[in-house]
Structure 1
Amino acid sequence: MSLRPTQSGSGFLSFNSMPPRLHITADTEEFDIDTIQQWRDEGFDVTYLPRRGGGRPYADKLTSLADDLELGEAYAIVAYGQAATDCLIVHQKPMPHLCALICFYPSDIPNPTASYPTQMQLQVHLAAGQGFAPKFPAFVYDGVSPGFAENDVDEFDPAASGLSWSRALSAVRRGFKMDVDLEKVVGVGLPVGGLYESLEYPQINPASRMKHTVPEPYVNYVSSQTGGVDRPTIMRFYQNFFAPLPPSLSTRLVSRIASVDRVVSEFILTFRHTHVIPFLLPGVPPTNKPVQIPMVSILAVRGKKLEHEHVYWDQASVLEQIGGLDPNAVPEDWKRKGCKRLPVIGVDQAKGVYDIEEIADDMNKLVKGW
């Protein structure tokens, strides 16, 4: 893992002296401990600053946060609600050492066309119903209310919270000039790896993998709804229902993209169906049929530990290849309306991922009138 910090410390980010300082501020006297811990897991020195009525005393506290920092050191602020509004007002002026300001659902944006210091990473996260449209960087989340990023309130929304977290973490790391190579964290053969690593290195003990997870991880093989929602069920799943794998099984990594807290792996899984495979085809007896299937694994990492994994594949394609689904078995009422074949693609799915030219002549063959 590579890192180019402006200030440093120990732990996940491998600093040399002091970890980067991050202040969370909000309207309540106490704040969501899970969010605070998330930032600490990523290697930040986190303190909480309650707004306590705001006004001049609060503004003075905001402007004094860098008083004990030395040349070259920096800090970031993550603010919520009315505190976020106050921060947007106070920090229009350049603040020494402030490298990032993240504002979640400010209650108001007094100056939506304001300009902010270019050396500061600014990011605002809004619920669509707030109706704000600032000219500075902002993300809007549909179907949620202010509070969507706080685990301990009724308005918490897991999807919006996860997406906003990734964006906020990315902005803060840019502010501190951090470069974290997550692909090395989940590299081939490392226990923290996901399904791709599990298939490549089945000899790795499940108990060893569990040492590299957050306290409440989950694994969801979406297409078969298998996996586990906590450490005990994940352990049971990998110990009793993952192996033995068919000896013919092999993987070929097609692409891998590492973002700020996600690693996305696209790979081809190839095997002959000589064994029951509970994670892929639960309850289906061996057919001895060959299978090639593209798969996508999305691995979420928090502080060098596995937080969760989502795995996707086309189950209809797998069933077609083993003889469990006939694309020509079209319901009669569909036939009467002109449908001649189910839109299911077998092994050609994998061929098209390897080399698009192999299937170029068959592209759109299922599209009526092409």
Structure 2
Amino acid sequence: MERAGRWPGKAIAALIKLETCDVKDKVALIVYGDPSEYPAAFNENLASALANCSFIVATVLFSSSWNLGPASQPILIHHAADTGPAPSETPGIKVHTYARARSPNFVVPGAEGFSYTAASVSHSRSLKFVKDHVGGPFFDLEKIWDEHTYFEFADRSVEQTMGTMVLEPYVNHIPTMTGGIGRARLTNFYRHHFIFNNPEDTELELVSRTIGVDRIVDEFVFVLTHNKVVDWLIPGIPPTGVTLRIPFVAVVNVRGDRLYHEHITWDQGTVLKQLGLLPDYLPFPYPVDGLEGKNLEVRVPVAGVETATKLQDQRAVESNLMVLPTEATIREVRVQESSSQ
């Protein structure tokens, strides 16, 4: 530890004394910003620590401007594209470039050039890199997610559902922009618009599940009988009694052993089609070569329940029926003149 110098030796010593630190012989460094934001001696101290401290097993940088010399441990660089050419990768250096990032501080909330999406992607990449080299901690993401959905759809408990989430979570149902940001708003959403609004026969038929270091991505068919107002899914539409089978994708982010956020999406077109609320043809107000001045309508390229059928069995429905249509995709609407009195 002494060979690491005053910094980061003292920091590492303080870290491993913590009772909650269960890996005491390995640490990873994450260095934000670039050298210009630090004291002049910091770069030299950092290089010395990497060369001499065996406790440091991996380093994450958000700038390629650091002059660290040869390092025995692996390095991950998150490179902001607008800061110049990306450094070359070597066997010990992994580089990810962020095309829309304007500065190394793209990951720092409130900083000039902060990019929410780039920060989120870099967080997941850093997490995997650090966990791979430090050796964890690893959590059973499937168990966490399955517990959450049990409390949502089977137990139907707002309190238990919120208990599976971080202090300030958020949920976004993309087609309808329903959900909530923060514990108070999300609790209100679950209580008044979601958990008790789903019909009793609601089911989630899992099609596939992909598990990452901090995310689960589920493909599933959401099944329900529309016998009550389901305002998070189809706001304002009265009950129709129609059974819906809707292909869904859920991207679930987990922080530690709690859910952080859910991005959930589906094709609202197929929902309206299955409900009989979407016509086969709609007015087409744009010019078409050879049909100038005509009153036109276009066939709506939206499928019904067959979208769910094909997701669950790729051979159940033929592909490309929309691109090889048997009916006209665009047609003239002939307006009948009313007879004169």
Alignment TM-score, normalising by the size of structure 1: 0.71
Task: Work out which structure has the larger RCO, using CA pairs closer than 8 Å and 6 or more positions apart in sequence.
Answer: 1
What is the alpha-carbon root mean square deviation over aligned residues? Answer: 3.1
Q: What is the one-letter code of the residue matched to 1:172?
A: V
Shift of 1:75: 3.5
Aligned sequence identity (%): 27
Q: What is the one-letter code of the residue matched to 2:118?
A: A
Instruction: Go from structure 1 to structure 2 and tell me whether the alpha carbon gap of 1:283 and 1:200 turns closer, same or farther (over 3 Å shift).
Output: same
Q: What is the one-letter code of the residue matched to 2:230?
A: I
- Structure 2 residue matching 1:143: 3-state secondary structure: coil
Shift of 1:307: 1.1
Alignment map for 1:10-21 (pairs within 5 Å): 18=24, 20-21=26-27
Establish whether residue 78 from structure 1 lines up as the match of residue 66 from structure 2: no
Residue 22 (structure 1) aligns with: 28
Establish whether residue 234 from structure 1 lines up as the match of residue 216 from structure 2: no
> CA separation in 2, counterparts of 1:22 and 1:52?
22
> CA separation in 2, counterparts of 1:343 and 1:166?
36
Among 64, 70, 79, the residue aligned to 1:126:
79
> CA separation in 2, counterparts of 1:251 and 1:334?
43
Instruction: Go from structure 1 to structure 2 and tell me whether the alpha carbon gap of 1:306 and 1:318 turns closer, same or farther (over 3 Å shift).
Output: same
Establish whether residue 139 from structure 1 lines up as the match of residue 110 from structure 2: no
Cα contact 1:199–1:251 (8 A) shared by 2: no
> CA separation in 2, counterparts of 1:126 and 1:200?
42
Instruction: Go from structure 1 to structure 2 and tell me whether the alpha carbon gap of 1:251 and 1:27 turns closer, same or farther (over 3 Å shift).
Output: closer
Cα contact 1:271–1:290 (8 A) shared by 2: yes
Among 295, 304, 310, the residue aligned to 1:346:
304
Cα contact 1:319–1:325 (8 A) shared by 2: yes
Point out the more displaced range, 222-231 or 320-329: 320-329
Q: Which runs of 5+ in 2 are unaligned?
A: 1-15, 327-341
Cα contact 2:222–2:247 (8 A) shared by 1: yes
Cα contact 2:139–2:257 (8 A) shared by 1: no
Q: Which runs of 5+ in 1 are unaligned?
A: 1-6, 32-49, 99-119
Cα-to-partner distance string for 1:243-278 (whole Å, 9 max, x where unaligned) = 132123222111111101111111101122111001
Q: What is the one-letter code of the residue matched to 2:182?
A: D
Residue 282 (structure 2) aligns with: 329
Shift of 1:334: 7.3
Among 12, 28, 48, the residue aligned to 1:60:
48
Alignment map for 1:173-184 (pairs within 5 Å): 173-178=131-136, 180-184=138-142
Aligned length: 299
- Structure 2 residue matching 1:358: 3-state secondary structure: coil
- Structure 2 residue matching 1:138: 3-state secondary structure: strand
Instruction: Go from structure 1 to structure 2 and tell me whether the alpha carbon gap of 1:93 and 1:161 turns closer, same or farther (over 3 Å shift).
Output: closer
Cα-to-partner distance string for 1:39-85 (whole Å, 9 max, x where unaligned) = xxxxxxxxxxx65444544533443433xx4xxxx53323344xx53
Shift of 1:176: 2.4
Q: What is the one-letter code of the residue matched to 2:323?
A: V
> CA separation in 2, counterparts of 1:63 and 1:216?
39
> CA separation in 1, counterparts of 2:162 and 2:25?
27
Alignment map for 1:1-370 (pairs within 5 Å): 18=24, 20-26=26-32, 52-54=40-42, 56-66=44-54, 69=55, 75-81=57-63, 85-86=65-66, 89-90=68-69, 92-94=70-72, 98=73, 120=74, 122-136=75-89, 137-146=94-103, 147-178=105-136, 180-188=138-146, 190=147, 193=148, 196-197=149-150, 200-201=153-154, 203-242=155-194, 243-331=196-284, 333=286, 340-360=298-318, 363-367=319-323
Residue 335 (structure 2) aligns with: none
Cα contact 1:182–1:263 (8 A) shared by 2: no
> CA separation in 1, counterparts of 2:250 and 2:271?
17
> CA separation in 2, counterparts of 1:17 and 1:213?
25
Residue 101 (structure 1) aligns with: none
Shift of 1:209: 2.6
> CA separation in 1, counterparts of 2:223 and 2:80?
44
Instruction: Go from structure 1 to structure 2 and tell me whether the alpha carbon gap of 1:57 and 1:353 turns closer, same or farther (over 3 Å shift).
Output: closer
Cα contact 1:126–1:139 (8 A) shared by 2: yes
Instruction: Go from structure 1 to structure 2 and tell me whether the alpha carbon gap of 1:199 and 1:347 turns closer, same or farther (over 3 Å shift).
Output: farther
Alignment TM-score, normalising by the size of structure 2: 0.77
> CA separation in 2, counterparts of 1:133 and 1:154?
21
Which protein shows a greater Rg?
Answer: 2
Residue 10 (structure 2) aligns with: none
Cα contact 1:200–1:251 (8 A) shared by 2: no
> CA separation in 2, counterparts of 1:174 and 1:57?
25
